[in-house]
Amino acid sequence: MSLRQLLRTLILVWWALAGTLALSALFIFPVMKGVMAGLLPVIVGVVAAISLRLVPVHWKTRSTERLAAIPDRLWLAGVCLLAFLLRLPGILSPALPTNDGDTFAYLADAKSLAAGNGIPNILFPPGQAAWLALWVSRFGDNLQVLALAQTILTLGAIVILYAVLKNRTIVAARWGTLVIAAMPSLVLFSSTLGHETTDMFSQVAILATYLLGIQRERTRGSVLIWPLLGVIAGLAALVHPTFLVVPILVGFNLWLMRVPLLRCLTPVLLTGLAAAMVVLPWSLRNYRHYGHFSAISANFGRTLLEANQSGSLGVYSNISSFISTEPNPVLQDRMAFKEALRVIHSDPLRFFYLCGRRTIYMWGTDTSMLEFVLGDPPHGGTVRKALLSVVIQTFWAWLVCAWCLSGWISLRSKSLSPEDLWCVTSIGVIWLVHGFLVEGLSRHHLSLIPLIAVTVLPSYLAWVRSSRSTAIAKEAQLAGSRTLAWR
């Protein structure tokens, strides 16, 4: 077995185990929080995911044929309309930024930037504030306009995903866009000013550009596609610095697809250089203002220490007393990073325990940030919050159960299409950062929901349609569209 084959097999094993871990986290989270009633929507979602297979075959066949008969443009228009209508209440009554939350900082930075005063801090990446400033400069700090801007990003993600995937795997294209449009947590967060919706758009745009790149690479016509991917990755990194790993993911994915190593270098270099050119001006600004290098923002060391210091439960904890002696925020971040490494090295078993807690926080619920959206006390009352929690968690449990089933189907069939491989490795990176190193909250998986849907729903729906267990692997391969072979 070659190294490529070994790694592909390990990725398939990891993907199957990841879905199982996420499903386990759904059942552990309510118990850990002491809210046993939280198990009810989880059970309902899981039972729904499994019970769909029991629907009579002729009903499933008829519904599949009717859905397949819908023209592409009609489907896309209908999904976009659905997405807009579901988000309309949030546009008309958007979430108010809390004084101590990320959205308040983004709005303050956006107003400062729109007024021509720049961004006065380095604690948050500048991309989200810059996106909001485009609208603030024209319409002021009207929250309804800003919520509409977030919805425009969602509609853009739907159109891009459908346009790229419809000729590769129509199942992933249609159901992936439907999930973006109707997933309750994505609908709810569209009414906020947070970076989660922008990250989701970035994930979809990067996936689409990467797939276009490998399609053109086969015909030697990708000279402009890889720099374009780098520009998108650079802009995305200014919103969420984790996107800086995109050039590495490009090389890794191409190599796994049996691309000769030397041919992998050109896409990696073109993507990396383009991303660096986008980020470099902001890095130079940071150096000029603070006298020390900071590529994008000075908060990784902070969040690492907040999530791992003594007394932390694996997510946020206050470290202001530790860093208060240093006025320079870049040096504060470095101090926190060194202290976090010392804490982790001194008690590695506790670090792994906290990694487990972060994984549960990240995947065990889709509702833990409702306070972030509804406020505290919740806007609309506690009954409304409880109903939203039940709906959101039920849909999330259904998708995670589909992920678990799909992961083992993919392992059995030993198949991952190029789009699946990209989605799986991208999800792995975000899981590593937020599930193992820094705070892992449910909002950190929101941008990954389209990638999860694109990867799991074709094989899951093939499993639902299949009436014989022996047909599962074959149908999963058909749903996967293309193999990993480089042709």
Structure token pair of residue 400 = 């995670």
* φ and ψ at residue 279, rounded to 5 degrees: -80, -30
Structure token pair of residue 55 = 């629907």
**Spatial CA neighbour of 420 closest among 487, 486, 483:** 483
Nearest-angstrom CA–CA distance, 22 and 28: 10
- SS3 assignment, position 120: coil
Q: What is the largest CA-CA distance in the chain?
A: 70
Nearest-angstrom CA–CA distance, 83 and 319: 40
Q: What residue spans define the domains of the chain?
A: 1-69+347-487, 96-278, 298-346
Cβ(236)–Cβ(127) under 8 Å? Answer: yes
Structure token pair of residue 308 = 């791992």
Nearest-angstrom CA–CA distance, 328 and 319: 15
What amino acid is encoded at 258 in this protein? R
Q: What is the pTM of this model?
A: 0.91
- What does the pLDDT profile of the chain (487 residues) look like in tens digits? 788 889 999 999 999 999 999 999 999 999 998 989 999 999 999 999 999 888 888 787 888 778 878 898 999 999 999 999 999 998 998 877 766 678 888 999 999 999 999 998 898 999 999 999 999 999 998 999 999 999 999 999 999 999 888 877 788 888 889 999 999 999 998 888 989 999 999 999 999 999 999 888 766 666 789 999 999 999 999 999 999 999 999 999 999 988 888 888 999 999 999 999 999 999 999 999 999 999 999 999 999 999 898 888 888 788 887 787 888 999 999 999 999 999 999 999 999 999 999 999 999 998 877 777 777 777 777 888 889 999 999 999 999 999 999 999 988 887 788 888 999 999 999 988 887 888 778 888 999 999 999 999 888 988 888 755 444 444 444 444 444 433 3
Structure token pair of residue 111 = 């107003």
